[in-house]
C-alpha cells in the first residue's frame, strides 16, 4: 500500500525480475474499454456497408488510444516508484482516459470529440505532472523530462486550438489531425536525444505483450458471440465453420507474436522507436481482425448488408497486416531463413487471399501451414523465459 511521497527516482534498467505492477494492470483496463468500443463500432459499420469511411475514423481514434497507453507505459518503465504521488497522478490519467473512453463509440462514428476533449486534457495534465516530478528529482534526466513535459503541453495546446477551430467534417480535419499527431510522435524522439530514459527492456516487452493479449481478447469476444448464437439455436454449418476457423486464426496470431520471447534485443534508440511505434500496426490489425470476424459472423447469420466475399476481405487483410507488422518490427532482424522471412511470405500469401475474398477457413488453413513453416526456424520458448 503506497504511503507518503518519495523522490521519483529513475529505475535500474538492469533490475532483475521486473514485472508489470498491479497499478499498470489496473491502468490497462481503460485501454480494454476503449479498444472494445472502437472495435465494436467498426464491426457494425462494416456489416452496415459503410466500413471504408468508418475505417478512417477507426484509425484516427485507435492511434490516440494507443498513444495514451504508450505515454504512461514508457514513463512507468523508467520512473515508477509506487509512492502516493505516482499512484494519485496515475488515477488522474485513468480518470481522463475513462472520460475519453466513454465517448469512443460516438467519436468513431463522427470524429466529433465533443466533451471527450476534456478527458484528453485531464490525461495530459497527469502525464505532465509525472514528468515534472521526474525532472525535479533526477538531475541527470532533467532536460529529457522537461522536453517531455513541454512537448506534451505544446501538443495539447495544438489539440485544443484544432478542436475549437476545425469542424469535424471539413476537408482540413484529417490532414491537420495527422499533422498534430506527428508532433506527438516527435516528442519522445527529441526528448530521448537529450538523455535516454532508463526504461527496462524486459518490462517493456511484457507490457507490449499484455496489450497484445488485450487486443486479441477482442477477437475472443467475437468468437464468444459466434458460439453464443450457436447456443441460442442457430446451429448452422456456416456459423460453426466461422467459429472454428476463427479459433485457428486467433491461436495462430497469439503463437506468431509470443513464439519469440526476446522481441526487442537492444535498447538502441532507433531500433527501440521502430519496435515501439511499429506495434501500433500489430495492435491495430489485431483489433481489425476482431471487427472483420464479427462481420463474417453477421454474414453467416444472415444479418449483414455486405457480401460474404467483402466480409472475408475485412478478416484476411488485417491478418496479412498483422503478419507484415510483426516481420517489420521483429522478424527481419532475426537469424535464420525461416525465422526471418516466413512471416513476410505469409503476409504476401494472405494478402492475395484477401484480394480474392476467400472464406475464413482457407485463411485458417494457410495460417496452420505458416505456423508449421515458422516453427522450423524457432524453438518453442520456455515457460520461464523472461
For the chain, what are the domain ranges?
22-194, 201-375
Nearest to 299 by CA among 46, 54, 58, 42: 46
Nearest to 278 by CA among 213, 146, 185: 185
CA 347/CA 324 separation, integer angstroms: 5
Q: Does the pLDDT of residue 24 top 60, yes or no?
A: yes
The one-character DSSP state at 333 is G
pLDDT of residue 1: 54
> What percent of the chain is predicted at pLDDT more than 70?
96
CA 127/CA 277 separation, integer angstroms: 19
CB 383: neighbour CB atoms within 10 A? 5
Cβ–Cβ < 8 Å for 371, 252:
yes
DSSP string across 148-165: HHHHHHHHHHHHHHHHHH
Q: Does the pLDDT of residue 375 top 90, yes or no?
A: no
Write down the pTM of the prediction. Answer: 0.93
Scanning the chain, the segments in alpha helix (DSSP H) are 22-47, 51-79, 84-101, 104-110, 116-137, 142-165, 173-194, 201-231, 237-258, 269-300, 308-329, 337-356, 360-375
Cβ–Cβ < 8 Å for 115, 128:
no
Q: Does the pLDDT of residue 386 top 70, yes or no?
A: no
pLDDT of residue 283: 97
Averaged pLDDT, 288-298: 95
pLDDT in tens, 29-45: 999 999 999 999 999 99
pLDDT of residue 76: 97
3-class DSSP assignment, residue 111: coil
pLDDT in tens, 109-153: 888 888 889 999 999 999 999 999 999 999 999 999 999 999 999
Burial class (CB in 10 A: 0-12, 13-18, 19+), 345: middle
Q: Which three cell numbers stand for residue 365?
A: 488453413
CA 253/CA 346 separation, integer angstroms: 12
CA 321/CA 326 separation, integer angstroms: 9
Averaged pLDDT, 64-91: 96
CA 173/CA 196 separation, integer angstroms: 34
Cβ–Cβ < 8 Å for 219, 293:
yes
Q: Among 188-192, 197-201, 236-240, whose mean pLDDT is lowest?
A: 236-240
At the top level of CATH, the class of 201-375 is: mainly alpha
Amino acid at each position: 500500500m503506497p504511503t507518503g511521497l518519495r523522490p521519483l527516482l529513475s529505475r535500474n534498467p538492469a533490475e532483475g525480475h521486473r514485472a508489470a505492477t498491479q497499478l499498470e494492470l489496473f491502468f490497462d483496463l481503460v485501454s480494454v474499454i476503449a479498444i472494445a468500443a472502437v472495435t465494436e463500432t467498426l464491426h457494425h459499420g462494416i456489416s452496415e456497408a459503410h466500413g471504408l469511411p468508418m475505417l478512417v475514423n477507426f484509425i484516427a481514434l485507435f492511434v490516440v488510444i494507443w498513444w495514451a497507453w504508450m505515454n504512461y507505459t514508457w514513463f512507468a518503465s523508467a520512473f515508477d516508484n509506487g509512492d502516493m504521488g505516482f499512484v494519485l497522478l496515475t488515477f488522474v490519467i485513468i480518470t481522463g482516459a475513462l472520460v475519453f473512453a466513454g465517448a469512443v463509440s460516438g467519436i468513431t462514428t463522427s470524429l466529433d470529440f465533443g466533451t471527450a476533449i476534456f478527458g484528453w486534457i485531464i490525461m495530459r495534465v497527469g502525464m505532465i505532472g509525472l514528468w515534472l516530478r521526474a525532472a525535479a528529482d533526477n538531475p541527470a534526466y532533467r532536460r529529457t523530462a522537461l522536453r517531455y513535459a513541454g512537448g506534451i503541453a505544446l501538443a495539447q495546446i495544438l489539440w485544443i486550438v484544432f478542436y475549437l477551430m476545425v469542424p469535424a467534417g471539413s476537408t482540413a480535419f484529417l490532414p491537420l489531425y495527422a499533422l498534430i499527431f506527428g508532433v506527438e510522435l516527435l516528442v519522445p524522439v527529441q526528448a530521448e536525444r537529450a538523455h535516454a530514459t532508463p526504461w527496462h527492456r524486459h518490462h517493456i516487452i511484457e507490457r507490449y505483450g499484455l496489450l497484445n493479449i488485450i487486443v486479441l481478447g477482442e477477437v475472443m469476444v467475437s468468437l464468444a458471440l459466434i458460439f453464443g448464437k450457436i447456443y441460442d439455436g442457430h446451429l448452422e454449418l456456416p456459423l460453426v465453420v466461422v467459429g472454428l476457423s476463427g479459433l485457428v486464426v486467433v491461436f495462430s496470431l497469439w503463437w506468431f507474436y509470443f513464439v519469440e520471447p526476446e522481441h526487442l534485443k537492444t535498447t538502441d534508440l532507433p531500433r527501440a522507436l521502430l519496435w515501439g511505434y511499429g506495434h501500433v500496426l500489430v495492435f491495430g490489425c489485431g483489433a481489425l481482425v476482431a471487427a472483420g470476424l464479427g462481420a463474417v459472423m453477421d454474414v453467416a447469420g444472415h444479418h449483414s448488408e455486405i457480401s460474404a466475399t467483402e466480409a472475408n476481405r475485412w478478416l484476411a487483410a488485417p491478418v496479412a497486416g498483422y503478419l507484415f507488422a510483426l516481420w517489420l518490427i521483429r522478424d527481419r532482424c532475426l537469424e535464420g531463413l525461416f525465422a526471418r522471412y516466413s512471416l513476410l511470405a505469409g503476409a504476401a500469401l494472405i494478402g492475395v487471399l484477401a484480394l480474392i475474398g476467400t472464406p475464413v477457413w482457407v485463411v485458417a488453413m494457410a495460417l496452420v501451414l505458416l505456423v508449421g513453416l515458422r516453427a522450423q526456424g524457432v524453438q518453442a520458448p520456455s515457460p520461464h523465459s523472461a
